[in-house]
Structure 1
């Protein structure tokens, strides 16, 4: 029987942040059961850890939503690294402060956050460079969020699809009231997915508001109802893509930015995601996402491996 651990990610308090189920050694689980297990947990993601293809790396990590396998995501990386760091070893090898995960989106380089000898969180560098995709029509984006088009701010940018490993349609809203009023419209998501992305179950929105000067403090919500995630309390991959995109719009050729994004407030699961962005020669070169974690539950599958 395979062991699992659940952990709340991007928080320092139990029942906050984004819950994640981690199987630290998934070798005994049948391929056909991976998706079924993720659906059974019904968290936004579940991770399954396997020995790496390259022994120089730490592990091969597969990430599943309740509906499908995805190439990369933020809180699964932070939470999985936190779990493995707390175990001290994986597949007979000691776990150091630095890790490398093999994922479908590429290699993910991670580092553990430790205090008084304890692992308290983790950070990682996004595996892909920033890509900017299609502009999303104002009416389509507003429809997905059940808002009027006037609630979307276009001074800095129009709604568009951005990615550093997993794509999201990002939009700035006029204020916290608009953010609080947003809710996903399934029919609008289906239409938008067909129009703006190659698979409608990959279409997800990330709406945000500036809560401080510039882009240093943001508050956001993420909706992906076509992936059976009506709302996600903390989405590291979306935060990373948004932070990279906003820095790419800055007129400065060289800059560093330290950005804090709060998410999950409206769900009662407050989350804090910290992003560091480095821009050189007009190009975003590095995006690091970090956060704290809290272990919550552990157990074993009751089905035969």
Structure 2
């Protein structure tokens, strides 16, 4: 009976039992079928399970494949890949990267057909910070039926919209910085955010389908003021995908698009050395508070480069039996 090594990382927190739990499976020297990976992801029943493979593209350092508990493969550059890279660095798969300095080392991850850069920094294994560059922002379908959308998450249409420094954000829309497409929904206050309900998967699925979203979820957010020590604009968010079994404590593949959405609407404050910065907290309602730091670098083409940073903490490791290949998902 064969086994593969696994670990569980709490991502976007340095405190165990906070953050967003991610199962990481070491398949660097073994190969699993798609069905076997789906069965293992279902067994963990976390929001995502990531498998680490050698790359098929020579430009990449490692290839990552991530699955939801329902067996759907996703390709977002969020907690599924940031947590995997935290473990890759922590476990020594990158060799000796710590030289006592805070400088970063750059690697490349293969996510589906995308090759994206990853920076690993920190002076020791307990001080790891992973920074990932996401893809170019794409602004896609708008959701125009506010009554229907609000009703699907237990709100009223008047609850949708957000005013920041005189900028009125009242248009829910799909924004992506990776193959994952999520519907971003601004709401008025943190009190409104607390009232959001994700109970009706079927109704939410219909709302997402109306925007032609794929590998998708609904990302509801609002302003959290400037309560960070650095006075960086801070937002609070909640996320749910019908393919998940629970509300997601942290969603990097949606936080990156949120940064792009705020930048495109001129709601990110002032730039520092040409770079805009925001922070996103998530997971408050689930008791697993997470912190994601994002930077936005405008480019000459009129678009922007999005970088997401965070850390993690190891909470479990062991071995899991490889499912029989004749078991059907």
TM over 0.5: yes
Matches of 1:210 and 1:32, distance apart in 2: 41
2:185 to 171, 177, 201: 171
Distance 1:198 1:10, change over 3 A: closer
**Counterpart for residue 220 of structure 1:** 237
Give the superposition deviation at 1:103: 1.0
Tell me which protein shows more strand as a share of its residues: 1
Q: Could you list the runs of 5+ residues in structure 1 that have no partner in the other structure?
A: none
Matches within 5 A, 1:154-303: 155-165=168-178, 166-184=180-198, 185-197=200-212, 202-212=215-225, 216-224=233-241, 226-250=242-266, 255-281=274-300, 283-303=302-322
Matches within 5 A, 1:2-21: 2-21=4-23
Distance 1:99 1:83, change over 3 A: same
> In the TM superposition, what whole-angstrom CA distance separates every residue of 1:73-99 from its partner, at most 9, and x where no partner exists?
400111111101012226xxx375322
Give the superposition deviation at 1:205: 0.9
**Counterpart for residue 46 of structure 2:** 43
Root-mean-square deviation (Å): 2.3
Tell me which protein shows more helix as a share of its residues: 1
On the 8 A contact 2:27/2:51 being kept in 1, the answer is yes
Q: What is the TM-score when the length of structure 1 is the normalising length?
A: 0.90
Q: What is the TM-score when the length of structure 2 is the normalising length?
A: 0.84
Q: Could you list the runs of 5+ residues in structure 2 that have no partner in the other structure?
A: 98-104, 163-167, 325-329
> In the TM superposition, what whole-angstrom CA distance separates every residue of 1:23-51 from its partner, at most 9, and x where no partner exists?
12252433320111111111111111111
Matches of 2:209 and 2:125, distance apart in 1: 49
On the 8 A contact 2:219/2:240 being kept in 1, the answer is yes
On the 8 A contact 2:47/2:246 being kept in 1, the answer is no
On the 8 A contact 2:234/2:278 being kept in 1, the answer is yes
> In the TM superposition, what whole-angstrom CA distance separates every residue of 1:249-283 from its partner, at most 9, and x where no partner exists?
2299x852111100000110000000001113472
On the 8 A contact 1:59/1:101 being kept in 2, the answer is yes
Give the superposition deviation at 1:123: 1.1
Distance 1:169 1:266, change over 3 A: same
Equivalent pairs counted in the alignment come to: 298
